[in-house]
């Protein structure tokens, strides 16, 4: 091995250096059960990926990742052939894996991944990626060897919903950025991407019945830049790209507050009939749809109808936060008319936890998203007592737009500074008193984008905190341990470097 020792004392390995093997202890989120063996599997250049009818898409996805860095052909073949390779099988997994889990068996002879669903296999593939050397993530061919540590992993999630949100309203983010983000969040078994599609500063999705929402309401952003919007075809492209990575898009139209872009686009939506100017600042809580005008409900019905038609996933997020320009009574009147517009389209209502107000009726399977900074909240417990489920996004733990430290150049700090340990050290199952783990659907790490403009900004704020939140959503609480986590997180660093992710090199982590 040629090792160059440069004057700074940093050891630089040339690109041709052999890859460093991973261990079974390196996986984030940590699996439910790991039994290492002494065996090592080395992917041969002639390996195939063996699939069954229901696993061929996952096989193609895996081959796409492995071919780039190995340079191997990795043909997809029918399962059952007796040559070495990686098998993706839809039978024979331990029954404990359920709908999202998997069983991975690695011997010197073969890698066999089993699950009950393609989603389970997809999650297993993410583990397999992390068991291969970091160089497997290289976009160009590397020398390997492509080893996988031997043993058995049986793994499944603690919570069914593990999400992250991107605010594309405060700053517009183009389709290519969203796709890149989807590829990266999939590595940590995130399975929901919530897109905040409208706010005071911009409307980001075409609505055919109200075309000025996008063309005018989408024409700027925080700071006055050009903004932008997704055509329906682009939005469907995002939905399909996410679905191919077993990620469900949750579209949000925030209402009745956070609606200046819509109010600016159509004068009729304003109680006084006068359209305000477009807004490019960062204040919150000043705008509201006119809850007493009938046209408001025509508008909402049209918007939700078109959005539902673009959304195969179960949830339509109706926002509902910071409606400070609306009285509590008007807010309830509004939400009690809006929620049935969602359920009428066979979608489930999701909203920020303000929709838990007792005057707002429960709707079937409703999900409230908790974003407070405290550990008790009557809106949340009221909603839960009526049957709602909760997605936990406590702003002082899970907000990816909070600064890491006071020196972080971008981000906000209203909910506190969130270093990696702070993001990791809380329990979604007990965080809010009166909300038992059984009422928790999962976790979501939101990224608001008042200060987050570029792809690099998104990477820097999401990594390494998003993997911490992903582990809280996936791994059993019995495995929760900061010391162990920081060691596992550390070895993700070289992977991110190879993937080109501009991550925050937190001093809390001893990066290799």
371 binds ligand TNX (CB under 6 A): yes
List the one residue from 52, 237, 302, 322 that touches ligand TNX (CB under 6 A).
322
User: What mask, x for binding ligand TNX by CB under 6 A, covers residues 348 to 367?
Assistant: ----x---------------
448 binds ligand TNX (CB under 6 A): yes
**Nearest distance in Å: CB 131, ligand TNX:** 36
229 binds ligand TNX (CB under 6 A): no
Which positions ≥6 away from 96 have C-beta within 8 Å? 32, 154, 156
244 binds ligand TNX (CB under 6 A): no
List the one residue from 77, 243, 284, 487 that touches ligand TNX (CB under 6 A).
284
322 is catalytic: yes
Nearer to ligand TNX, 275 or 323 (CB): 323
401 binds ligand TNX (CB under 6 A): yes
> In the structure encoding, which two tokens stand for residue 457, read together?
């900004």
How far apart are alpha carbons 133 and 38 in whole angstroms? 17
149 to each of 116, 133, 136, 496, how far by Cα in Å? 24, 10, 14, 21
**Nearest distance in Å: CB 369, ligand TNX:** 8
3-class secondary structure per residue, 68-130: HHHCCCCCEEECCCCCCEEEEECCCCCHHHCCCCEEEEECCCCEEEECCCHHHHHHHHHHHHH
Helix axes 482-490, 492-499, angle to 10 degrees: 30
Stretch of residues binding ligand TNX (CB under 6 A), selected from 1-9, 309-317, 395-403, 463-471: 395-403
List the one residue from 308, 412, 417, 498 that touches ligand TNX (CB under 6 A).
412
**Other C-beta atoms within 10 Å of 409: how many?**
8
Exposed (0-12), middle (13-18) or buried (19+): which is 14, by Cβ within 10 Å? Answer: exposed
**Nearest distance in Å: CB 451, ligand TNX:** 9
List the one residue from 26, 137, 321, 444 that touches ligand TNX (CB under 6 A).
321
404 binds ligand TNX (CB under 6 A): no
Q: What are phi and psi of 226, to 5 degrees?
A: -70, -15
Q: Cβ distance 192 to 247 under 8 Å? A: yes
141 binds ligand TNX (CB under 6 A): no
Q: Which of 52, 137, 252, 322 is catalytic?
A: 322
Active-site annotation, residues = 322
Site residues (CB under 6 A) for ligand TNX?
284, 321-322, 352, 371, 395, 399, 401, 412, 448, 450
């Amino acid at each position: 091995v040629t090792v160059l020792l440069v004057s700074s004392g940093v050891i630089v390995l040339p690109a041709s250096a052999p890859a460093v093997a991973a261990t079974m202890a390196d996986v984030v989120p940590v699996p439910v059960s790991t039994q290492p063996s002494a065996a090592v599997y080395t992917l041969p250049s002639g390996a195939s990926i063996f699939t069954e009818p229901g696993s061929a898409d996952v096989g193609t996805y895996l081959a796409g990742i492995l071919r780039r860095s190995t340079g191997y052909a990795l043909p997809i073949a029918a399962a059952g052939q007796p040559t070495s390779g990686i098998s993706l099988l839809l039978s024979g997994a331990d029954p404990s894996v359920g709908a999202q889990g998997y069983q991975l068996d690695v011997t010197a002879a073969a890698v066999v991944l089993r699950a009950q669903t393609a989603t389970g296999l997809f999650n297993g593939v993410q583990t397999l990626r992390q068991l291969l050397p970091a160089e497997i993530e290289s976009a160009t061919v590397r020398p390997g060897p492509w080893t996988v540590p031997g043993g058995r992993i049986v793994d499944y999630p603690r919570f069914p919903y593990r999400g992250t949100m991107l605010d594309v309203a405060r700053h517009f983010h183009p389709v290519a950025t969203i796709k890149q983000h989807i590829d990266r969040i999939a590595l940590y078994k995130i399975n929901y991407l919530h897109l905040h599609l409208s706010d005071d500063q911009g409307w980001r999705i075409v609505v055919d019945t109200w075309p000025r929402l996008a063309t005018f309401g989408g024409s700027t952003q925080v700071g006055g830049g050009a903004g932008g919007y997704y055509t329906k075809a682009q939005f469907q492209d995002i939905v399909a790209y996410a679905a191919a990575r077993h990620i469900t898009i949750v579209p949000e139209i925030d209402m009745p507050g956070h609606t200046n872009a819509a109010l600016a686009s159509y004068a009729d939506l304003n109680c006084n009939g006068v359209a305000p100017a477009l807004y490019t600042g960062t204040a919150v809580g000043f705008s509201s749809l006119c809850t007493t005008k009938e046209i408001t409900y025509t508008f909402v019905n049209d918007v939700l109808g078109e959005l539902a038609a673009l959304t195969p996933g179960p949830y339509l997020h109706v926002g509902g936060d910071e409606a400070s320009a609306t009285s509590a009574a008007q807010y309830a009147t509004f939400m009690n008319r809006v929620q049935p517009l969602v359920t009428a389209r066979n979608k489930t209502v999701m909203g920020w936890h303000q929709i838990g107000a007792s005057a707002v009726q429960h709707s079937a399977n409703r999900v409230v998203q908790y974003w407070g900074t405290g550990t008790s909240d009557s809106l949340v417990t009221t909603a839960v007592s009526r049957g709602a489920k909760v997605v936990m996004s406590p702003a002082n733990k899970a907000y990816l737009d909070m600064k890491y430290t006071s020196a972080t150049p971008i981000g906000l700090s209203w909910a506190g500074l969130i270093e990696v340990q702070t993001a990791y050290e809380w329990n979604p199952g007990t965080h809010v008193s009166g909300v038992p783990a059984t009422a928790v659907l999962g976790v979501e790490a939101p990224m608001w984008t008042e200060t987050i403009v570029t792809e690099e900004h998104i990477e820097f704020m999401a990594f390494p905190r998003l993997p911490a939140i992903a582990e809280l959503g996936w791994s059993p609480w019995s495995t929760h341990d900061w010391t162990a986590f920081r060691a596992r997180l550390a070895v993700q660093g070289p992977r991110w470097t190879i993937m080109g992710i501009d991550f925050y090199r937190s001093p809390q982590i001893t990066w290799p």
